[in-house]
Amino acid sequence: VQLQASGGGLVQAGGSLRLSCSLSGESAEYYAAAWFRQAPGKEREEVSCISNKGGNTDYSDSVKGRFTISRDNAQNTVYLQMNSLKPEDTGVYYCAAGYSGGRERAVYLGDVMDYWGKGTQVTVSS
C-alpha cells in the first residue's frame, strides 16, 4: 500500500488545517492508519490513530480535544482535522498504515505501522 499526505501549510495560531492521506494499492478498509509528526530537533511523535473501519480512535494528550482523525474508506482517504493550532504543532506530518485484515480491529497509539508516506509541512505562526 502507498500513502500520500497533503494539506499542510502555513497558518496563524488559533487557526485550522485539514490534512489528507490517500491510500492506494489496496483497499483502505484493511488498514489501520495513524498520523505522526516531527519537529526540528525533536523525536517523531504519534498524534493520532484510527482503526481500519473507523470504529475506534486514539489521541496523544498534546492534541486531544483539538485534533480529530477520521476516514472515508470509499475514498481510500484518512483525514486529520486540526483546530486551535499552536506554534508547538509545527512540524512535518506523516501518515502511516498497518494491516488489520478484513474485520474491525482496535488500534492504539504505539501500535506498529508498516507503511509510511512522505510528509507534509505544517507551520503555525504565533
Cα-Cα-Cα-Cα torsion 86, 88, 94, 98, nearest 10 degrees, comes to: -90
Give the pLDDT of residue 35.
98
7-64 tens-digit pLDDT? 999 999 999 999 999 999 999 999 999 999 999 899 999 999 999 999 999 999 999 9
Residues 92 and 54: beta-carbon distance below 8 Å: no
Give the pLDDT of residue 52.
97
87-116 tens-digit pLDDT? 999 999 999 999 999 999 999 999 999 999
Instruction: Dig out the grid coordinates for 12 from the structure.
Output: 496563524
What is the residue-averaged pLDDT of the chain?
Answer: 97
